Copies of this chain bind each other. A is one copy, B any other.
């Protein structure tokens, strides 16, 4: 019986394992997972910490029991993979009992995910957390419940930092963000689009601009974050400074790397025969930039896993690549992006025309209408849509899907302007903001 071994039982790994087993029930599918829980929503953790979402069980989409019984997977939790021998096609594992065990494979998927990127040497202090795994969220919740911290410091300004800011403000803490520079959401947004959000952050929380250099403690507990701009007192510290692909096994196995992640082709093959990679540990193809990027996002991971699941069972699936579409919420605010930013497109050598509009999200005479800023990046000359960014209030964020679809389809701004989008006073002005933006973008690109 041929065997498919998967290392990592979250989005990519479980998608691959489940698809492969469904397509070929005769396949022996072994899933190695170092943790205890599998298939949980890492994206849901901040909302659980903020007591908005239920958890931890509700965050889990498949239990180990279900994986084994309903999906027929040979799932081995609390089992670490420590070595890959691609010539012998064997993975060395350490069982929960600490015993070393060789697991032969015909195909191997590295779905080892990512780990928090810690920007400084970290002293072992209680009250300092990174948020990556469900166990991290549990530890943060326990700390909040038992230690009743008053002052939180969040290092970083990305999606997780903002979501944790909202969560901890909701829990009644004072929050200070430590940012490397006066900007949130990094390079995902052009500054003119992320600045309104930064201002909202500043209205609700403290913001200190300065490089974080370490944490300071007393009696084994954190008491401050040291930054180049001074120390910031803290009863709890969240390090939300991004993640890195977990590539140790891949590197040891001889897989070529790219952007500090595992290099894959569009079938999710690594450079080593019969070794596949998917999810946060691998690169992802950016459809507009036309190059691989490191994009640790859930939807891409799930899709890449499916592609592997098909390909190890005789299929010939291709990863469609991504537009790096993303959305998040910060209190009443919604921000979203897709495709290339103005800067990304320019750096990629494209001739860029960018257009920004401010519009209402419903008819102006409706009391609950929100407002939004929409930026459209198009190719000068052709008008081909390259990217879009949205910042606004209720109803703004998911409009990015319309733009993502148009960009995926290769539409020009002029063509998007002609799409028959839905109008009714509670939902949009007669010309949806997307149409107004498209019209101006078409003109701008034609100049």
Contacts and interface: CB of A to CB of B under 8 A. Distances in A.
A58 interface: yes
A363 B325 contact: no
A104 interface: no
A124 interface: no
Contacts of A217: none
B44 A420 contact: no
B327 A427 contact: yes
Of A53, A365, A423, the most chain B CB neighbours within 10 A belong to A365
A138 interface: no
A320 interface: yes
- Copy count, this protein chain: 2
A418 B408 contact: yes
Interface string A46-59: 01100011110011
Given A395-B398, A405-B405, A52 B366 contact: yes
Contacts of A419: 320, 323, 401, 404-405, 408
A396 to B, nearest CB: 11
A421 B53 contact: no
Contacts of A347: none
Interface in A396-420: 397-402, 404-406, 408-411, 415-416, 418-420
Given A363-B53, A398-B398, A404 B425 contact: no
Given A430-B11, A431-B302, A327 B424 contact: yes
A391 B350 CA distance: 41
B423 A297 contact: yes
Of A58, A416, A419, the most chain B CB neighbours within 10 A belong to A419
Contacts of A404: 402, 419-422
A431 B59 contact: no
A276 to B, nearest CB: 19
A326 interface: yes
A365 B322 contact: no
Interface string A324-358: 11111100001010100000000000000000000
A289 B337 CA distance: 34
A159 to B, nearest CB: 8
B409 A427 contact: no
A426 interface: yes
A408 B424 CA distance: 20
A270 interface: no
A125 interface: no
Contacts of A323: 419-420
A398 to B, nearest CB: 6
A295 B404 CA distance: 28
A323 B363 CA distance: 21
29 contacts: A41-B430, A47-B365, A47-B425, A47-B426, A52-B366, A53-B363, A53-B367, A55-B365, A59-B365, A298-B430, A302-B431, A303-B418, A324-B420, A325-B422, A327-B422, A328-B424, A329-B426, A334-B427, A398-B427, A400-B422, A401-B401, A401-B419, A401-B432, A402-B402, A404-B419, A404-B420, A405-B406, A408-B415, A409-B410
The 9 tightest CB contacts between A and B, nearest first, are: A320-B418, A409-B409, A327-B422, A58-B365, A323-B420, A325-B420, A405-B405, A401-B402, A408-B419
Interface of A: 11, 41, 43-44, 47-48, 52-55, 58-59, 159, 287, 297-300, 302-303, 320-329, 334, 336, 338, 363-367, 395, 397-402, 404-406, 408-411, 415-416, 418-428, 430-432, 434
